[in-house]
Structure 1
Amino acid sequence: MAEPRLWTPADAREWIAVPDAESDKYSRGVLGVVTGSDRYPGAAVIGVEAAIRTGVGMVRYLGADRPANLVLQRRPEIVTAEGRVQAWLIGSGMDPGKLTREESSLLDAALHGGEPVVADAGSLRRVAAGAHQRAFGVDESWRIVATPHVGELATMLSGLGSPAEVGAIRADPVSYAADVAARLGIVVVLKGGTTHVVAPDGDAIAISGGSPWLATAGTGDALAGIIGALVATNAERVLADPGCLASVAASGVLLHTAAGDAAATEGPLAALDVAEAVRGVVGGLLR
């Protein structure tokens, strides 16, 4: 396997969609979001905030009443009714062992709807169990970006019948991420001090650096929101060339890393600090 490529701000800039005078909220991309739960409602708030700050025409949130109400309190422009979307963000703040029937139905609808999907946390077992069994070709499977940390990747590997110790994955992260990516036909974003983005064909990108203060609750939810927004705003390019999805995901990781640096200039940060800082990072890249 070749050494992972590094990703630069210039690379990320290519995947920031800038509106023009003819743009509207639909042409700029609509991100459907199925995240959060009654037990973990904050994940929905953080992910939605990060998506909005990254740049997207509309966020359509579908979920339980408690997280939906908190999302609306934070961002009253969010739409909580079903309708058309260009991409999905699912699973953040959801316990795969405690999903309600409605939550399960929403996750399955997103995974099988044909739009690109960013799958986090509580949706990862579903991806491992069913992505390779979906009723369309390999190129379609490339429409899924999974965002596990090391422990979640170990769970995915167990679901595929290839259990691995967390320590072994940490020692050789790219190989294990590449195994899951190839077997499921998905892009894997393995989160860590260095985050590895691996495509089904084995192409790997590494994004390192970033403030150690990012190691705090909720920052992974922010990352998922950032990637979700970029996928939604680049949905036409992704559908035309699913192979570019790894580049979109890597650009999201770079924005997240830079936002963490910006939020940590004066010390400890919280996840919403990172989400709020994304706007300035995007503006800086475009300038």
Structure 2
Amino acid sequence: MTEQWTTQDAARTLRRPTASDDKYSRGVLGVRTGSDRYPGAAVLGVEAAHRTGVGMVRYVGPERATAFVLSRRPETVAADGRVQAWLIGSGTDAAERSADETAALRALFAGEVPVVVDAGALDLVPGRSGTAPVVVTPHASEHARLREAAGLDASAADRAEAAADTAAALGVAVLLKGAETIVATPSRAIRRVESPTAWLATAGTGDVLGGILGALVAAAQPKDAEALAPLAATAALVHGHAGAAASAARDGGPITALDVAEAAASVIGRILAQADGAH
């Protein structure tokens, strides 16, 4: 199955809060990202999660990154605790990861809540133990390394087929980033999301995408990799439209990752409003 993901599809996936909701029922996202070398990744992911409408963000990371996160978003809870989803790996380097941090990240896969895996934590996915639902968010070179680790042909030319192979081999949902984002599941279902702007090809936008996806996953609390895929496709769509909106606000000019994160809330509002108008 191959499907082009649309704003109408996204509207059915987005969760609108009700009068009976509180910050816990709206979803709590645990974020374990950033490093002393790349603290900005933590800031961008946390900012994007808040702008996407999650009930709470718990940030667990290095002291320097924590200070930056709290300076930008003081409503973030800088303490471990119960969460409905995890976002890990953005702004980290597997080669510099401590044994204690590796053990802590591996333990997340043994839990019950879904895990969004980016960048410096992708190496932990092959060979992981546990049943936590997992979605990975590689770009092209990261995907090639992931395929190699899974015993697959790292030079496969067809992006969609390659993503589906990776998903099936590893038992995860795959969000393969690019001008056309591919989302694939272990059952080989494929969703395609076209980016409306090439200005997104700039540093930090992948960290923003991770935050958007983490927030959607925390709100929905999916139980398996198949259920993660619509959320991943929606995150990619919101991310792309937020990039386009941020550029439009600058007369079609260039944007920064923080611009994209800030635009996510308005994009989500418009998608939901359009869905209301269609009924």
TM-score by length of 2: 0.93
Matched, 1:261 2:244: yes
Residue number in structure 1 paired with 2:233: 250
SS of residue paired to 1:14: helix
Rounded Cα–Cα distance in structure 1 between residues aligned with 2:53 and 2:130: 32
Using the alignment, how far apart are the partners of 1:106 and 1:85 within structure 2?
15
**Identity percentage over the alignment?**
52
Taking the aligned partners of 1:181 and 1:8, their CA distance within structure 2 comes to: 22
Report how far residue 61 of structure 1 moved. Answer: 0.4
Q: Is the CA contact 1:91–1:107 (under 8 Å) kept in the aligned structure 2?
A: no
Distance 1:122 1:268 in 2: 27
Which digits, 9 at most, give the CA deviation of each residue in 1:192-244, with x for residues without a partner? Answer: 01000000000000001321110000000000110110000001xx12x6532
Aligned partner of residue 85 in structure 1, secondary structure: coil
Task: Provide the rounded CA distance (Å) in 2 between the counterparts of 1:209 and 1:218.
Answer: 16
Counterpart of 1:27 in structure 2 is 25
Equivalent in the alignment of 2:276: none
Q: Which runs of 5+ in 1 are unaligned?
A: none
Inter-partner Cα distance in structure 2 for 1:126 and 1:99 = 11
Preserved contact between residue 129 and residue 159 of structure 1 (Cα < 8 Å): no
Other-structure match for 2:167 = 181
Matching residue of 1:94: 92
CA distance in 1, matches of 2:69, 2:151: 38
Following superposition, the deviation at residue 135 of structure 1 comes to: 4.0
Hey, what's the Cα distance between the residues in 1 that align with 2:260 and 2:159?
25
Supply the AA of the counterpart residue of 1:107: L
| Structure 1 outlier segments of 4+, above 3 Å | none
**1:163 Cα deviation from its structure 2 partner:** 4.3
Contact 1:155–1:163 (Cα < 8 Å) also in 2 = no
Quick one: which of 251, 262, 268 aligns to 1:282? 268
Q: Which moved more, 1:219-228 or 1:15-24?
A: 15-24
Match of 1:67 among 61, 65, 68: 65
Q: Which consecutive unaligned segments of at least 5 residues does structure 2 have?
A: 274-279
Q: How many residues align?
A: 270
Q: Deviations over 1:62-98 (max 9, x none)?
A: 0111111100000001011111000000100010111
Instruction: Describe the superposition over 1:247-279 as per-residue Cα deviations: whole angstroms up to 9, x where unpaired.
Output: 111011100010010011121100000000001
Code of the aligned partner of 1:149: H
Aligned-partner Cα distance in 2 for 1:183–1:161? 9
Q: CA offsets, 1:15-37, max 9 Å, x none?
A: 21111221111001000000000
Aligned-partner Cα distance in 1 for 2:225–2:22: 24
The residue number in structure 2 matching 1:113 is 111
Match of 2:6 in 1: 8
Q: Which SS does the other structure have where 1:80 is aligned?
A: coil
Query: What amino acid sits opposite 2:13 in the alignment?
Result: W
Indicate the residue corresponding to 1:144 in structure 2: 134
- CA gap of 1:110–1:189, structure 2 versus 1, over 3 A, is same
Query: Alignment partner of 1:202: what SS?
Result: coil
Which residue number in structure 2 is paired with residue 157 of structure 1? 147
Matched, 1:272 2:262: no
Match of 2:183 among 183, 186, 197: 197
SS at match of 1:108: helix
Contact 1:26 1:58 in 2 (8 A): yes
CA RMSD of aligned residues (A): 1.3
Q: After the TM superposition, which residues 46-65 of structure 1 pair with which residues of structure 2 at under 5 Å, given as runs?
A: 46-65=44-63
Q: What per-residue deviation string (whole Å, max 9, x for no partner) do you get for residues 143-166 of structure 1?
A: 10100001001111121233423x
- Write the distance in 2 (CA, Å) between the matches of 1:218 and 1:209: 16
